[in-house]
Amino acid sequence: MTINNEQNCWFDENIDMKKISVPHANGWLARFQRSTHHGDTLWSVLIIIASLLVLATVVAIGWMLWQQSTDARIKFGWAFVLPTSNATWDPLKGVYQSWAFIYTTLITSLFAIILAVPISIGIAIFLAELCPESIRLPLNWMIELLAAIPSVVYGLWGIFIFLPIVVVPVGQGLFVAFGQIPLLNSLFKGPIPLSGSSRLAASMILTIMIIPTITAISRDVLLAIPNTQREAAMGMGSTRWEMIWQVLLPYGLSGILGAVILGLGRALGETMAVTMVIGNSLEATNSLLTPGTTMASLLANQFKESVSQLHTDAMLEIGLTLFVITLILNMIARLLVWQVARRTPQEARA
């Protein structure tokens, strides 16, 4: 019994804690607030649920396609996706093998990559190493705007302008140049159709569409290389080009490879522009100069008009194949790009 006149003093032994009424100290709201750390538990549960939802979408895409294509997978087995000389896709007889589409997808994308990689790396070098500061940002933006043009607009422009003006002469040139050479003549068997609709057209449109992807990532990879590398190369008396070619590119090689693979992934899955210019022929030929059908353009053309459940299932299996291929490519690419980013300490970056 010490101080009585000052209430609420913390050392007052006579205060009965139960009689002090902090408003709603034991009300439901206060209890709720305490038990949830003033809402933080709820908040963290909420954001974890949202994160899981996003992750679940990725898993669910694969799972649903896998589950729904069961019939086709069981019926055709691995023959559905493996290379065969004469793959049949016959909805009337119910026989489905997708190698022809996989082949077209791969050949158009690979050709697009072959065209796009030197161009993109050249642009990346220009933007990262040579370009005057004043025009760097506008140039960056313009290259990236190429990726913002909707793919149907590419398709429309392709059909009416790009095919007749650029693709047809290029195709004829390729036919004349390579059509007679023994090993290459099946790849360049022509002549190219007058409309220009061909795998070559798809490749060339894809080239334009994947340049921004490869350029942007390669440029970032080059910019992430420490300045010490540049200084060392220049100090040893190399020219600028030797520095770029013999020091910077080998240093960033895995990152650039990642960029190329990401570009490849984008080319494989591109649908609308390719569907509009590739001619959508189901004939199985190997030539770049003839019309064909890619996996994505087959889906765009036939999925709505499927004639039987098996037809739908087979096309879902094509979708699954496409998903798995792009998934694997993306994983490889991300790991490569991350590897470069991790190897370079943050402080050393230019």
Partner 1 sequence: MTTTRFQELIAKNEALHSARRRITNSIMLAITGLLTLLALIPLFWIVGYVIYRGGSTINLDFFTQLARPLGVSGGGVLFSIEGTVVLTIISCLCAIPPGVLAAFYVASNPNTPLGVALRFGTDVLAGVPSIVMGLFIYVLIVVPEKHYSAWAGGLALAILMLPTIVRTTEEMLKLVPHTLHEASLGLGAPEWKTSLSVMFPAALNGIITGFLLAISRAVGETAPLLFTALGNDQYDLGKIIGGGIQYHQSLSAIIGRIINQPVDSLPLTLWKYALQPYPERIDQSWGVALVLMIFTLSIEIIARLWVESRKRALQG
Site for partner 1 in 158-197 (CB under 8 A): 159-162
Selected binder of partner 1 within 12, 20, 32, 141 (CB under 8 A): 141
Selected binder of partner 1 within 299, 314, 336, 340 (CB under 8 A): 299
125 binds partner 1 (CB under 8 A): yes
Selected binder of partner 1 within 79, 152, 177, 350 (CB under 8 A): 152
Smallest distance, partner 1 to C-beta of residue 17, A: 23
32 binds partner 1 (CB under 8 A): no
String of DSSP letters for 283-304: -----TTS-B--HHHHHHHHGG
Between residue 98 and residue 117, which ones bind partner 1 under the rule CB under 8 A? none
253-257 contact pairs (CB < 8 A, 24+): 254/336, 254/339, 254/340, 255/217, 255/218, 255/220, 255/221, 255/224, 255/336, 255/337, 255/339, 255/340, 255/341, 256/121, 256/124, 256/217, 256/218, 256/221, 257/333, 257/336
Smallest distance, partner 1 to C-beta of residue 94, A: 20
Strand pairing category for 95-96 and 89-90: antiparallel
Between residue 247 and residue 276, which ones bind partner 1 under the rule CB under 8 A? 262, 265-266, 268-272, 276
Structure tokens at 277: 């210019």
Segment interacting with partner 1, rule: CB under 8 A, options 13-21, 23-31, 34-42, 174-182: 34-42
Selected binder of partner 1 within 95, 178, 330, 341 (CB under 8 A): 330
Distances (CA, A) of 202 to 83, 195, 285: 22, 13, 15
Q: Which is nearer to partner 1, 84 or 330 (CB)?
A: 330
Q: Which is nearer to partner 1, 87 or 261 (CB)?
A: 261
Alpha-carbon gap, residue 108 to 111, rounded angstroms: 5
Selected binder of partner 1 within 9, 38, 176, 236 (CB under 8 A): 38
The CA R_g of the chain, rounded to the nearest whole Å, is 30
Q: Which is nearer to partner 1, 31 or 240 (CB)?
A: 240
Selected binder of partner 1 within 255, 258, 292, 319 (CB under 8 A): 319
Segment interacting with partner 1, rule: CB under 8 A, options 24-32, 83-91, 146-154, 339-347: 146-154
Contact 271, 151 (CB under 8 A): yes
Q: Look at the chain and count its residues.
A: 350
Smallest distance, partner 1 to C-beta of residue 203, A: 14
Q: Which is nearer to partner 1, 260 or 276 (CB)?
A: 276
Closest Cα partner for 257 from 203, 218, 216, 211? 218
Contact 77, 314 (CB under 8 A): no
String of DSSP letters for 29-90: HHHHHHHTTTTHHHHHHHHHHHHHHHHHHHHHHHHHHHHHTHHHHHHHGGGGTS--SS--EE
79 binds partner 1 (CB under 8 A): no
236 binds partner 1 (CB under 8 A): no
Segment interacting with partner 1, rule: CB under 8 A, options 22-30, 75-83, 139-147, 192-200: 139-147
Between residue 51 and residue 70, which ones bind partner 1 under the rule CB under 8 A? 51-55, 57-58, 60-61, 64-65, 68
